Amino acid sequence: MIPYGWQNIDQADIAAVVEVLQSDWLTQGPMIERFEQAIAQRCGAQYGVAVCNATAGLHLACLAAGLGEGDWLWTSPISFVASANCGRYCGAGVDFVDIDAHTWTIDAEALAVKLEQAARDGRLPKVVVAVAFAGQSADMRSIAALARQYGFTLIEDAAHAVGAHYAGAPVGCGEFADMTVFSFHPVKIITTAEGGMVLTNRADLEQRLRLLRSHGITRDAGQMTDESHGAWYYQQLELGFNYRITDLQAALGLSQLTRLDAFLERRRELAARYQRLLAHLPVSVQAPQKDAESAWHLFVVRLQRDRIPRSHREVFDGMRAAGVGVNLHYIPIHLQPYYRDLGFNQGDFPQAESYYAEALSLPMYPDLTDAQQDHVVESLRRLLELSVGGADD
């Protein structure tokens, strides 16, 4: 079975991890800071705070933004559940803004309309999580302008978008988002097994992220409420968590980072090839977002249902039967039982729901070969019953 995503681990990665295993530090050693600085520097951000996964990063970012009970977090319904759950972890209410029909990222115009209404109702969000879907940023310029107008903190969930660009600058540089969160899960662009990072240019946010990452404990005398008792002394200032990453993981991440450009290059190549090979099939691909340059974490197609003889589910199952490990990113978050229990219903976000009825993630990872990709496209072509004369290549 050709998987939809797969990590690329080489001998240098393995050697980097083994070296840490043989060193004095397995966790909280020098590799974490090196990894943080390397990612921050690559993205043009002041600060990087590495965490045990992006879900923890989103949680900390929300806490650093001051999100709490009585507040609201808004995000896109087409994302992984973590983009919304981070608000619930803080005791805040979660609401959604529908996706744009073509870019499949949060619809900035729908956001503007909803904000206007929320301002009248006194229910403005404190945080908006804009997801860089499939590796492509949302309309961050417009959303950042709304953030300034309405005073919310803008977090970019860039779990898919390590190495992506927006407005000519790396995602994570902080020109538009207050904080950017990366994931280093194995299916994402580079991996630390589990892992994530929050990038920001604001020293106040960085300090809170670091404090909350490690139990709310400080060893910095300058932060303490009174005199230190001695060299052993630390103080817990807030209720924090153990969301730390390890040196083993940071070493893996640093080693992976040396191949990031090669990974991105191959993903771009595969995406361009998919676009060419699929051009004559009854499917739609993600529309380019103005100013955005995708990292191509996912390659999603939408079936043009009225032009094909099979159901969405039949095509999905048929691809799996043909040895192609397609997937579906994502089930609209508001339709999950947990969110339905909070009052959401079918019909609340029609663009997200019609996306869900048509979407299919095709295999996309650097080691996917052209021959495998040809098999993916040919399998899809057969299922759409256009095997004769349907394409010119």
Ligand X SMILES: *Cc1c(COP(=O)(O)O)cnc(C)c1O
List the one residue from 16, 82, 144, 352 that touches ligand X (CB under 6 A).
Answer: 82
Tell me the backbone φ, ψ of residue 343, rounded to 5 degrees: 115, 0
* Closer CB to ligand X, 308 or 339, in the complex: 339
Q: Which stretch binds ligand X (CB under 6 A): 156-164, 205-213, 275-283, 304-312?
A: 156-164
Kindly calculate the radius of gyration of the chain based on its CA atoms and give it in whole angstroms: 22
* Closer CB to ligand X, 131 or 211, in the complex: 131
* Closer CB to ligand X, 53 or 218, in the complex: 53
Asked whether 263 and 107 are in contact (CB, 8 A), the reply is no
- Residue numbers 39-78 binding ligand X by CB under 6 A: 53-55
Of 104, 101, 154, 166, nearest in space to 128 by CA: 154
Helix 30-43 and helix 247-257, axial crossing angle in degrees, nearest 10: 30
Verify binding: residue 159, ligand X, rule CB under 6 A. yes
Tokens of 329: 């990113």
The total number of residues written for the chain in this structure: 393
CA–CA separation, 215 and 217 (whole Å)? 5
Indicate left, alpha or beta for 104 from its phi (over 0: left) and psi (-120 to 50: alpha): left
| Stretch 99-138: interaction string toward ligand X, x if CB under 6 A | --------------------------------x-------
Verify binding: residue 79, ligand X, rule CB under 6 A. yes
Verify binding: residue 319, ligand X, rule CB under 6 A. no
Q: Which residues are the active-site residues?
A: 188
By CB under 6 A, how many residues form the interface with ligand X? 14
* Closer CB to ligand X, 82 or 271, in the complex: 82
Amino acid at 27: T
Q: Which stretch binds ligand X (CB under 6 A): 38-46, 61-69, 80-88, 92-100?
A: 80-88
Tokens of 66: 């001051």
List the one residue from 83, 85, 103, 246 that touches ligand X (CB under 6 A).
Answer: 83
Q: Is 388 exposed, middle or buried (0-12, 13-18, 19+ CB in 10 A)?
A: exposed
Q: Which stretch binds ligand X (CB under 6 A): 134-142, 155-163, 305-313, 314-322?
A: 155-163
Asked if omega into 234 is within 30° of 0 (cis), the reply is no
* Closer CB to ligand X, 128 or 315, in the complex: 128
Hey, what long-range contacts does 203-208 have (CB within 8 A, 24 or more apart)?
203/46, 203/47, 205/47, 205/61, 205/64, 205/65, 205/178, 205/179, 206/46, 206/47, 206/49, 208/60, 208/63, 208/64
Q: How far is the CB of 166 from ligand X (least distance, A)?
A: 16
- Residue numbers 334-363 binding ligand X by CB under 6 A: none
- Residue numbers 170-199 binding ligand X by CB under 6 A: 183, 185, 196
Q: How far is the CB of 308 from ligand X (least distance, A)?
A: 28
Q: How far is the CB of 363 from ligand X (least distance, A)?
A: 17
Q: Which residues bind ligand X (CB under 6 A)?
A: 53-55, 79-80, 82-83, 131, 157, 159-160, 183, 185, 196
